[in-house]
A and B are shown apart, each in its own frame.
Chain A
């Protein structure tokens, strides 16, 4: 599943602009201790894992995030355990073949920490962790691009949810776990490799989607401005 249609016989497929809307759903699973947290994590649906790593980027949050997933954030602020928070925060879902492998690594870190720290066996968090899942609705905006240069006019007008879909959600969908922009540019061979490299350098975790949209727009603008000069 990706943003492109099947490639026509004659050439490169168009970039099909899609958009999405996401809604959060309660799971009624809550954790007050690390042991409870571990228990739920072991049984959590993949879409809930997805939510706490990725989809939360579409939800209200304030300024820069200290930790890049909800689990790490709760361990730090709910349980005040900096060590485990740092370990969980570094987990990047794109580094794993699937959600089960990601879950395995999460549990490994938690088990290790439970073994080494006695107080985490019984300590109650200052706030419970609420496990959430989500539903995502993806729809076609009827906009297609044939040339990368057309992105110049498009990106700044894209909705933030469309940015989410193509730049973040894509990493879960695409074979190489890259965003849709890079995947599409790769169809053009080596021509756009410098642009692909610049896009690789944009970390989606530490900006709001509005900022991310601006970063993408600037990257495309700078690239084509340099190409002209």
Chain B
């Protein structure tokens, strides 16, 4: 067993790692390529950052390629992202044509690698059209959708569907997100890396330093939402909830911290809206953190008594998973993958409005013992279900499954 796997076994248990090794044996000699649009920032990059080297350690030749694009390209893909989540956005034809040009340019760069690979995982819409320009591909291509596609804006989906339908398979995070496609659509929820800077245990000194840096009062109750400044995350709704709860908990503090990703041009606009809503309340900290501030985010989640993720649309909600892993109850929007993780009175509460969030904030601060019990349960729930090793296992299973066709039971000697 190699070092990285050994380290993971201390968190997941040796049986989990042995299981991965045995599955990987079935894929010896295969080559795998993952493609996405950013190496830093956002849940996809965070997962690939560990998933790729871990797969390599299991003896499977695995690469991670990142496509590049200009601001028009990202403007287009941000529009696609929002449209897949249901916003009625009409992307101009000129931008869609540019989207194809950028995919073709990237295909020219990556063609040799992509056409030779046995398995190619294309993450999200940005690189989806690469397949169109790799006409001599020999392997199986899988489109991995990390977005809540339950009610996509039809015009945008029709555009993407032209490419997605030619893949051998697709992956969605929840069955509710699956669109009608002519191939198998696998259901694989994402996961977190327990050993990444964002999730690893921190020392008290490090927590104290972050507390001091952002002038957080250690004796006052604190709630936090750690998420991109994006309207679907409803940061303004979180401020409303805070204001409602503050009437009953006068010393309440709110931290709204967002990273930024290179493929998100809308963040600044939303950030301005958030600052306006926060006004001059000294107990609201609006923090814009650099994409590599993982340990700071980790510390903020640990410093919070309750973590919020009041999204109105959510792919899966990895920030929820992260908070639960740190033993924090989560008040989350009743949407997408948050529903899979937040179970009322067990790991937190699902809410639909700022008023609902405020009510649950008040409840938890009045039931401290309940809050602690939820924290213990939450951590074990994530350990069993939402760590990186589970997602890797499902990717390996999917690849074995694609090798053996559409039978429901594959018996290997």
Contact = CB atoms under 8 A, between A and B. Distances in A.
Given A21-B397, A26-B175, A28-B180, A139 B22 contact: yes
Given A21-B393, A47-B408, A60 B19 contact: no
Nearest to A48: B408
A60 B385 contact: yes
B15 A135 contact: no
A103 interface: no
Interface string B182-225: 00111111000000000000000000000000000000000000
Interface string B37-60: 000000000000000000000000
Nearest to B393: A21
Nearest to A139: B412
A210 B187 contact: no
B26 interface: yes
Interface string B18-46: 11001100100000000000000000000
A135 B172 contact: no
Contact of A137 (B14, B172, B397): B397
Nearest to B19: A159
Given A23-B188, A63-B346, A130-B176, A135 B411 contact: no
Interface string B385-410: 11000000110111011001001111
B113 to A, nearest CB: 26
A161 interface: yes
A158 B15 contact: yes
B238 to A, nearest CB: 25
Interface in A141-159: 141, 157-159
Nearest to A130: B175
A62 B384 CA distance: 10
A82 interface: no
B394 A136 contact: no
Interface residues of B, number: 43
A135 B340 contact: no
B412 A137 contact: yes
A25 B184 contact: yes
A24 B22 contact: no
Given A23-B397, A26-B172, A138 B412 contact: yes
B9 to A, nearest CB: 12
A132 B22 contact: no
Contact of B409 (A138, A157, A161): A138
B413 interface: yes
Interface in B164-178: 172, 175-176, 178
Contacts of A26: 172, 175, 178, 185-187
A80 interface: no
Nearest to A22: B397
A138 B410 contact: yes
Given A132-B175, A137-B401, A161-B19, A23 B411 contact: no
B347 interface: yes
A207 to B, nearest CB: 12
Contacts of A139: 22-23, 26, 412
A135 B412 contact: no
A222 B115 CA distance: 57
B133 interface: no
B153 to A, nearest CB: 20
Contacts of B23: 21, 137, 139
A139 B385 CA distance: 22
A140 B413 contact: yes
A137 B410 contact: yes
A135 B394 CA distance: 11
A218 B197 CA distance: 38
Contacts of A166: none
Interface string B333-368: 000000010010011000000000000000000000
B163 interface: no
B22 to A, nearest CB: 6
A134 B16 CA distance: 21
Contact of A135 (B14, B396, B407): B407
A228 interface: no
B294 interface: no
Given A23-B188, A24-B186, A139-B22, A157 B14 contact: yes
A133 interface: yes
Interface in A92-143: 128, 130, 132-141
Contacts of A160: 15
Contacts of A162: 19
Nearest to B181: A28
30 contacts: A19-B19, A21-B397, A21-B400, A23-B397, A23-B398, A23-B401, A24-B186, A25-B184, A26-B175, A26-B185, A26-B186, A26-B187, A28-B185, A47-B408, A50-B408, A60-B340, A60-B386, A63-B346, A130-B175, A135-B397, A137-B23, A137-B412, A138-B410, A138-B411, A139-B23, A140-B412, A157-B14, A159-B16, A159-B19, A161-B19
Given A21-B400, A138-B412, 11 more contacts: A21-B19, A24-B175, A26-B178, A26-B186, A26-B187, A136-B410, A137-B401, A138-B410, A139-B412, A140-B412, A157-B15
